[in-house]
């Protein structure tokens, strides 16, 4: 596989969404690391690329398990007594039990080309598959992590790798099950893994590393706090992610054993700051919601996966009104399109509240644009970025929406964004730039087709295993 091309230094945009609104005919200048150096108007100079459509910042995907792409769509057959999240989890464990490093890289390479074509330009990989099938460690503890980084670099998506700490089989300190042995580390072996992953990311502007604990089921809060402290400078300013309160059963178990709900327990026991990203946080009461807003933590929502697994409904509209920050992720990979995630995010809130246009923090404006800017800013923060959107210092990640598409005829730029989210075609994204590299051209990633054959072979092997 060939790597993406060189970084561009200047891109002319006919219409680009900046914090001050739609800018006509501006030039985005990029530095050597692919970050935005300046955005200038009235600039008649030559540029490396001209984009004539509607240009917005790329969407960060704040929660991905690449390996789950291998079973996307294969868990819809009802099994007596297992038609819930926990039954799905057993199927997922079994299907992924044999995945080897080459197969993981093949799956991730194909997956990431699809994300890019849909408008995701960066991905937080919440990676918990660490060891060999059976559970013995690889000689290199970062073997599988490295494969995800390689896949991302091959196709040109920016990646924040979140190696996941997984210590136990449940709230009651149960040992890990056989199907969880590939995930398990002690805090000591985890810190070695984190160090190894950090070494693989250093000096690469399109890679970064963060800390993740799988869940409070899998990591006791005192172990989480101690490991975070021991990680020290390795994760200074880095994001910290955790699955929390996804399932009602998880809340009930936590209440029964600890006398407190999971999110409240997390805030009691750990110093949750604005570096944190709480994945799902589905089941929260008003006090817990308030804690999250005050801490500045991001909530990571994965609407299609949460709907697919019957998780429940996070009070997202209320959270935004209260000043909370959120973003979206593809999680189980049943959907890798940010527009679809945002559409479902909005619709679930509308169904729940029996109102329309609910995810706009302001009194008025474009619902689609509000959803997109919320997801860009929350997602970037969850990936450890200090700035986001089309501003100096942010990553040079852009997507161009095809304003000439028939579905977008006679629409203003805001109406095009509304139409992309709420009625848009799947092929609305025309060009994608990541860190200044032009990775999707005319809607197609150049490696999509060559990544597809090996992906099909892996799926065939896994299904026949």
Gyration radius of the chain's alpha carbons: 21
- In whole angstroms, how close is the CB of 354 to Zn ion at the nearest point? 29
301: closest CA among 277, 280, 325, 275? 280
Q: Which one, 66 or 440, has the nearer CB to Zn ion?
A: 66
Q: What is the 3-state secondary structure (H, E, C) of 420-433?
A: HHHCCCCCCEEEEE
Q: What is the smallest separation between the CB atom of 35 and Zn ion, expressed in angstroms?
A: 29
Shortest spacing between CB 215 and Zn ion, in angstroms: 9
Strands 437-440, 429-434: parallel, antiparallel or unpaired by DSSP?
Answer: antiparallel
Q: Which long-range contacts (CB under 8 A, 24 or more apart) does 429-432 make?
A: 429/117, 429/118, 429/119, 429/399, 429/400, 429/401, 429/402, 430/53, 430/400, 430/401, 430/402, 431/51, 431/53, 431/398, 431/399, 431/400, 432/58, 432/116, 432/117, 432/119, 432/121, 432/398, 432/399, 432/400
In the bound state with Zn ion, the residue whose beta carbon lies nearer, of 64 and 366, is 64
DSSP string spanning 15-34? EEEETTEEEEEEEEEE-TTS
Reference 30, options 20, 22, 40, 38; nearest CA is 38
In the complex, least distance from residue 32 CB atom to Zn ion, rounded to whole angstroms: 35
- Exposed, middle or buried: residue 24 (CB in 10 Å: 0-12, 13-18, 19+)? exposed
- DSSP element (H, E) containing 148: helix 143-155
Whose Cβ is closer to Zn ion: residue 311's or residue 402's? 311
The alpha carbon of residue 304 and the mean position of all alpha carbons in its chain are separated, in whole angstroms, by 13
Q: One of 127, 243, 280, 283 is an active-site residue; which one?
A: 280
- The secondary structure element, H or E, covering residue 161 is strand 158-165
Indicate the residue whose CB is closest to Zn ion: 331
Is 77 a known active-site residue? no
301 or 317: CB nearest Zn ion: 301
Minimum distance from residue 43 beta carbon to Zn ion (Å) = 43
Q: Note whether 124 and 62 are within 8 A (CB).
A: yes
Which residue among the candidates 331, 397, 402, 418 is catalytic per the annotation? 331
The residues that touch Zn ion, with contacts defined as CB under 5 A, are 331
Q: How far apart are CA 436 and CA 28, in angstroms?
A: 10
- Distance of alpha carbon 285 from alpha carbon 282, whole angstroms: 10
Distance CA 12, CA 383 (A): 27
Q: Left (φ > 0), alpha (ψ -120 to 50) or beta: where does 205 sit?
A: alpha
- Of 89 and 448, the one with the shorter C-beta distance to Zn ion is 89
Minimum distance, C-beta of residue 130 to Zn ion, in the bound complex (Å): 15
**Residues for the chain: how many in total?**
465
Smallest separation (angstroms) from Zn ion to the CB of 65? 6
Q: Give the nearer residue to Zn ion in terms of CB position, either 331 or 397.
A: 331
- How many beta carbons lie within 10 A of that of residue 47, not counting itself? 16
CB of 113 to Zn ion, least distance (A): 21
Of the pair 212, 376, the CB lying nearest Zn ion is at: 212
Q: Is 280 annotated as catalytic?
A: yes
Choose between 89 and 192: whose C-beta lies nearer to Zn ion: 89
Q: Which of the residues are catalytic?
A: 280, 331
């Amino acid at each position: 596989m060939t790597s993406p091309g060189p970084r561009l230094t200047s891109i002319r945009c006919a219409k680009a969404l900046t914090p001050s609104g739609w800018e006509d005919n501006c030039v985005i200048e990029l530095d050597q690391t692919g970050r935005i150096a300046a955005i200038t108007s009235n600039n008649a100079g030559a540029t490396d690329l001209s984009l004539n459509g509607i240009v917005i910042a790329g969407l960060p995907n704040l929660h991905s398990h690449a390996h789950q792409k291998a079973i996307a769509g294969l868990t819809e057959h009802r099994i007596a007594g297992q038609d819930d999240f926990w039954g799905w989890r057993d199927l997922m464990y079994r299907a992924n039990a044999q995945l080897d490093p080459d197969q993981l890289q093949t799956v991730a390479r194909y997956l990431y080309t699809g994300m890019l074509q849909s408008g995701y330009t960066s991905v937080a990989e919440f990676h918990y598959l660490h060891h060999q099938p059976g559970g013995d460690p690889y000689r290199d503890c970062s073997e599988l992590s490295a494969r995800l980084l390689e896949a991302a670099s091959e196709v040109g998506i920016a990646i924040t790798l979140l190696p996941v700490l997984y210590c136990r089989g449940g709230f009651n300190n149960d040992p890990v099950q056989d199907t969880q042995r590939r995930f398990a580390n002690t805090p000591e072996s985890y810190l070695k893994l984190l160090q190894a992953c950090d070494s693989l990311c250093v000096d690469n502007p399109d890679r970064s590393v963060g800390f993740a604990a799988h869940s409070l089921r899998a990591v006791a809060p005192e172990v989480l706090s101690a490991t975070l402290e021991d990680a020290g400078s390795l994760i200074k300013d880095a994001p910290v992610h955790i699955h929390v309160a996804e399932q009602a059963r998880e809340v009930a178990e936590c209440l029964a054993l600890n006398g407190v709900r999971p999110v409240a327990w997390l805030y009691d026991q750990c110093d949750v700051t604005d570096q944190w990203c709480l994945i799902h946080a589905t089941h929260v009461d008003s006090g817990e919601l308030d804690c999250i807003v005050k801490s500045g933590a991001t909530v990571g929502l994965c609407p299609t996966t949460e709907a697919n697994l019957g998780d429940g409904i996070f009070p997202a509209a209320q959270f935004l009104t209260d000043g909370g920050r959120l973003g979206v992720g593809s999680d189980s990979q049943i959907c890798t399109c940010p527009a679809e995630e945002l559409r479902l995010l909005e619709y679930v809130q509308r169904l729940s509240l029996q109102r329309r246009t609910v995810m706009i923090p302001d009194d008025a404006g474009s619902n689609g644009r509000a959803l997109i800017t919320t997801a860009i800013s929350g997602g970037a923060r969850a990936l450890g970025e200090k700035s986001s959107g089309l501003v100096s210092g942010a990553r040079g990640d852009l997507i161009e929406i095809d304003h000439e598409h028939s579905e977008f005829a006679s629409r203003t730029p805001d109406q095009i964004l509304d139409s992309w989210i709420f009625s848009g075609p799947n092929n609305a994204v025309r060009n994608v730039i990541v860190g200044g590299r032009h990775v999707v051209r005319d809607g197609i990633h150049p490696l999509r087709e060559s990544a597809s054959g090996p992906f099909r072979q892996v799926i065939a092997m896994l299904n026949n295993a």
